[in-house]
Amino acid sequence: MNAQKMMGKVKKYLEGGSKNTIEILYMINEKTRDGTTSHQLGKLLSMDREVVKVGDIKCERSVSGSYKVCEWALREVGELK
C-alpha cells in the first residue's frame, strides 16, 4: 500500500477522535493486506501537516516493561497555515 492510501485510511480513522500509534498500527495491519511497521507509520504521521501529535501515553506491559507512545489527532481546520 502506498503512503497516500495509508494516510487516507489513518485520517478517516482519526475523525473519530485522537488515537495512539499502537491503535493506528493495529487498524492498518488488520484492514490492509500489506500492513506497515511502527517506524514507517510514525514517520508518515509526523510528516503529515493535517495530523498533529497531542501528547504521549505511557504503556505498561508485563513482559516488555513500560514505554511511551505518541497520541495523534487531526489538526483543526482553522489551524492549518
Assigned CATH topology for domain 3-75 = Arc Repressor Mutant, subunit A (1.10.10)
Cell numbers placing 73: 489527532
CB 38 within 8 A of CB 26: no
| Chain segment 24-59, per-residue pLDDT in tens | 999 999 988 888 999 999 999 999 999 999 999 888
| Chain segment 5-29, per-residue pLDDT in tens | 999 999 999 999 999 999 999 999 9
Residues paired with residue 58 on neighbouring β-strands, in sequence order: 68
Query: Cα separations (Å) of 59 from 38, 50, 70?
Result: 15, 25, 10
Q: What is the pTM of this model?
A: 0.85
- The ranges assigned to domains in the chain are 3-75
